Amino acid sequence: MPSLPPEQQQWIVQPLADVGLARAEIESLLVRLAFDAVVDEGEQVLACAWDLVAGCPPEVRAAWTRTLARLLTLDLSA
């Protein structure tokens, strides 16, 4: 998998930063998502993705939804 340029990495996580999550919190969410993606498959990954923010305030859950949408739109074919 190719490495993303820093500006694209920032664009992906910007919704989470905008609602006040610290860098460590964002990294934790993304690492947990990546782990779940490796050990689970299909719909289980999506369910796990929502579980990661289940206890968070609505604005964080909405930002997580935007972050996931941005991840899904990436073109990694290059």
| Phi/psi of residue 27, nearest 5 degrees | -60, -40
Quick: pLDDT tens for 24-74: 999 999 999 988 888 876 667 777 888 999 999 999 999 999 999 998 888
Label each residue of 7-38 as H, E or C: HHHHHHHHHHHHCCCCHHHHHHHHHHHHHHHH
Q: Is 70 exceeded by the pLDDT of residue 1?
A: no
Quick: pLDDT tens for 3-21: 888 999 999 999 999 999 9
Q: What's the pLDDT score for residue 77? A: 67
Q: What's the pLDDT score for residue 78? A: 58
d(CA 67, CA 42): 18
